[in-house]
Structure formats: C-alpha cells, structure tokens
C-alpha cells in the first residue's frame, strides 16, 4: 500500500502487525519525518553503560542470555515481580533456563516498554518478525538468535555498524584506568565508531560507608598518584583524573545524585567532615 509521502509501506505478512515499520508513527507527518529524515541518521549516544572492554575487544556474546539478561536490572525487576526464583535471574541457572524464565515473564509486561523493546530487538537486528516471545516460542527464538550471535555481524562492533553508531560515551569512574578507551582509539574500529569516557565521580561522595569509602580512596590514590590525606588532596586527585579523562576525549560528566542536600556549610566544615570519614 503506497503512502501519501511517496514511499512504500514495508509491512510484510510475516511481520507482527504491531511492529511493522510504522510502529508508533500515527500520522503522515510522523511517518515522513522518520522514514525520510530521521531513520538514516547516525546514532550519537552521549550516555550509556556499555562496558568499554567489550567494545574495544569486539566481544562476541555466547548467547542471547548474556546480551539481554546479564546486568539488565529492568528485566530482573520484572522477573522478580513475576515471582521468578532468583536462581533464574542472577543465580547459577543455565543460559536457557534463565532465558526461558524471561520468556515466561514477557507476556505479563504488556503495556510496559519492556514488552516493546523485546520485540523490536527481536525484529532488528535478529530478523525475528513472525513470533511474539513467550513460553512456547522461547526455545526456537533462543536458538535462532544464538545462531546470529555466532556471526561477525553480531559482535559488539558488528552491532554498532549495523545501527550506524558514530559516537558512544561510556560511564566511567575517576579511578578507572581508561586502557580500553586508549586501545579502541588506536584501533581501526575507531574510524567508524568513536568511544569516549564520561566522568562519573559518585563514589567520591559516598561517605556513608566509611570502610568502602576508604577502600575507594585507596584506589583513587593509586590511579592518580596523589596521597589523599585531606579534602584538598581529594580535589587534587580528582582534578588530575579529570585531566586524564580530557586527554582521551572526555567532554561529559554524569552524576547519580540521589539526594540534593540544602545545608549551610563552609569549606572548613567540609574539610572536617571529610577528615572524620577518612578516619572511619
């Protein structure tokens, strides 16, 4: 069926109608803006949690469970809400057992973005367009997706090429060594996707647990080369790491501030509080 904008609809009889090429595009201007302009643009991702080592090493995923379920707390939350045993979420169950538990959960996520994300990702890049994920389709989808993941097109860099990712900014702690960013920048892969770190110093504020805070400061000391004995030297260490991040292309910071405190203070109070935290 021809569209008024002059492009042909790509809906196939083998495609689940909900997830045709016009998903969420509810009128002609929306379809024209997406298909004729936005769709072909590169992705510039200024915030993500992709592991830099997986990008730099062109990691090959062992199964759909690894790429979909390891570390995805949104899926974990849905599975726990569905009563799935923790062994099948973060425990020692096999890859297929864990995937099957997710497949059993998916139908119950209807009206949640997880439902749409799942089927849109099955459609692209896996090319699975004719089935919804559920208990009865889990095995077939798992095997078909794993066959794709075994090919070069589905390594980390292969997937980035497929989605035209031009820039990706990872989330990195000041104490990270940035080795993988340097390795990627020096590789041929950097010609099609650039990877930069993002400065996220949350742990430098986490004084609520003194033992963990002290352990983090030890790590920051080792990475910065500055002995952290006071609040002033903490700032110096962070400044040195900030400079190191800048040198490998970092231009962004990211802060997970759970609480915004409104308390009067002066620099000497901050220094005394830091000293108490340092002393445990």
Query: Residue 258's pLDDT is what?
Result: 84
Q: With bands split at pLDDT 50, 70 and 90, how would you rate the model's confidence at 280?
A: confident
Q: What is the pLDDT of residues 184-230, one digit of tens each?
A: 999 999 999 999 999 999 999 999 888 999 999 999 999 999 999 99
How far, in Å, CA of 79 to CA of 74, rounded? Answer: 9
Query: Residue 134's pLDDT is what?
Result: 97
Dihedral sign (CA 86, 87, 89, 90): positive
Percent of the chain predicted with pLDDT > 90: 87
Which residue do the tokens 């390891």 mark?
A: 70
Angle in degrees, CA 269, 272, 275, rounded to 5: 150
Half-sphere exposure at residue 30, Cβ-oriented, CA atoms within 13 angstroms: 7
Which residues lie below 8 Å from residue 67, measured CB to CB, with a gap of 6+?
Answer: 61, 149
Q: How many residues does the chain have?
A: 280
Average pLDDT over the chain, rounded to an integer: 93
Query: Residue 15's pLDDT is what?
Result: 66
Structure tokens at 60: 């090959």
Query: Residue 254's pLDDT is what?
Result: 93
Query: Residue 14's pLDDT is what?
Result: 56
Q: What is the pLDDT of residues 57-110, one digit of tens each?
A: 999 999 999 999 998 999 999 999 999 999 999 999 999 999 999 999 999 999
Which residues lie below 8 Å from residue 268, measured CB to CB, with a gap of 6+?
Answer: none
Structural domains of the chain sorted by starting position, each given as residue range(s) with its CATH number in brackets? 60-154 (1.10.2020.10), 164-278 (no CATH)
For residue 262, which phi and psi values (nearest 5 degrees)? -115, 90
- Cβ proximity of 105 and 114 under 8 Å: no
How far, in Å, CA of 142 to CA of 133, rounded? Answer: 10
Q: With bands split at pLDDT 50, 70 and 90, how would you rate the model's confidence at 12?
A: very low
Q: List 8's β-bridge partners, or say none.
A: 2
Which residue do the tokens 């749409």 mark?
A: 116
Q: With bands split at pLDDT 50, 70 and 90, how would you rate the model's confidence at 13?
A: very low
Which residues lie below 8 Å from residue 178, measured CB to CB, with a gap of 6+?
Answer: 172, 197, 244, 245, 248
Above 90 in pLDDT, residue 238? yes
Query: Residue 261's pLDDT is what?
Result: 82
CA-to-CA dists, residue 31 to 5, 7, 247, angstroms: 8, 10, 42
Cα 110 vs. chain centroid, distance in angstroms?
23
């Amino acid at each position: 069926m021809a569209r008024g904008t002059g492009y042909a609809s790509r809906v196939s009889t083998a495609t689940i109608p909900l997830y045709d090429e016009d998903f969420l595009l509810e009128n002609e201007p929306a379809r024209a803006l997406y298909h004729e302009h936005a769709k072909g643009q590169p992705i510039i991702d200024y915030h993500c949690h992709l592991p830099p080592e997986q990008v730099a090493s062109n990691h090959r995923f062992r199964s759909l469970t690894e790429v979909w379920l390891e570390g995805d707390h949104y899926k974990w939350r849905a599975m726990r809400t569905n009563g799935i045993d923790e062994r099948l979420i973060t425990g020692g169950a096999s890859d297929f057992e864990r995937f099957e538990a997710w497949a059993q959960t998916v139908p119950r996520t209807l009206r949640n973005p997880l439902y749409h994300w799942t089927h849109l990702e099955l459609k692209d890049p896996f090319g699975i367009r004719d089935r919804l994920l559920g208990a009865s389709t889990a095995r077939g989808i798992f095997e078909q997706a794993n066959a794709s993941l075994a090919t070069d097109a589905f390594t980390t860099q292969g997937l980035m090429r497929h989605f035209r990712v031009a820039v990706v900014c990872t989330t990195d702690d000041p104490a990270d060594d940035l080795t993988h960013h340097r390795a990627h920048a020096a590789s041929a892969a950097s010609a099609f996707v650039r990877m930069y770190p993002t400065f996220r110093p949350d742990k430098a504020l986490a004084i609520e647990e003194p033992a963990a805070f002290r352990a983090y400061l030890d790590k920051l000391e080792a990475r910065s080369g500055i002995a952290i004995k006071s609040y002033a030297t903490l700032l110096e260490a962070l400044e040195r790491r900030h400079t190191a991040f800048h040198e490998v292309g970092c231009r962004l910071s990211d802060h997970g501030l759970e609480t915004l405190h409104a308390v009067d203070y002066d620099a000497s109070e901050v220094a005394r509080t830091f000293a108490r935290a340092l002393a445990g």
